[in-house]
Amino acid sequence: MELQKFIENFAAEFDETPMELFKANADFKSFDEWNSLTALSIISMVDENYEKTITGADLRANTTIEDLFNFVESL
């Protein structure tokens, strides 16, 4: 699994957030567009692209996109 590709897949779940905000150290929950529907989209994206299951609690436990990447990679 590659971090840059994960960031691209993560960013694809957002409609209005500028691409330049999607960096490894970005606190994704601080994005204006972050909400429960976006969280469900991220959970689905991880399942579809990486065949791994994460939960809302897992999203809450991670702060940055890289944190989430590392968590998913560790599963």
| Annotated domain spans of the chain | 3-14+22-74
Tens of pLDDT along the chain (75 residues)? 899 999 999 999 999 999 999 999 999 999 999 999 999 999 999 999 999 999 999 999 999 999 999 999 999
CATH 1.10.40.50 fits 3-14+22-74, yes or no: no
Q: Which residues pair with 64 in a beta bridge?
A: 27
Predicted pLDDT of residue 1: 86
Residue 50 burial class via C-beta count within 10 angstroms: exposed 0-12, middle 13-18, buried 19 and up: middle
47-54: long-range pairs with CB below 8 Å, 24+: 49/9, 50/1
